[in-house]
């Protein structure tokens, strides 16, 4: 995690913002802080697992071409035919 002051400040503001949004949704102040803690922890795990800027430049690390059949096999419970039809996307074999 980047430790520069500007990033620390951004994280603190994000945490406060998330708590505020949850509180606007009707949660108590204490519950909204707990929810913000959970969201922040999840976001932190995603950031740790993400590729760094150098790795993101490598097309083999980011471009995973998959056929329609492979896609439906990877997540068979999702309505891929409906999604592709609704989005008017072409289907590869």
Whether the CB-CB separation of 36 and 15 falls below 8 Å is answered with yes
Query: Is a pLDDT exceeding 90 seen at residue 3?
Result: no
pLDDT at 89: 93
Q: 6: phi > 0 → left, psi -120 to 50 → alpha, else beta; which?
A: alpha
- What does the pLDDT average to over 13-26? 96
pLDDT in tens, 41-76: 999 999 889 998 899 999 988 888 889 999 999 999
Please state the domain extents for the chain.
Answer: 1-50, 57-93
pTM of structure: 0.60
63 or 23: which leads in pLDDT: 23
pLDDT at 93: 63
């Amino acid at each position: 995690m980047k430790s520069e002051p500007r990033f620390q400040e951004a994280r603190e503001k994000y945490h406060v913002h998330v708590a505020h949004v949850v509180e606007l949704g009707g949660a108590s102040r204490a519950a909204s802080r707990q929810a913000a803690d959970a969201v922040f922890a999840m976001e932190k795990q995603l950031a740790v697992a993400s590729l760094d800027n150098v790795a993101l430049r490598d097309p083999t690390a980011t471009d995973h071409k998959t056929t329609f059949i492979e896609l439906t096999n990877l997540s068979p419970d999702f309505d891929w035919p409906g999604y592709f039809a609704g989005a008017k996307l072409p289907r590869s074999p």
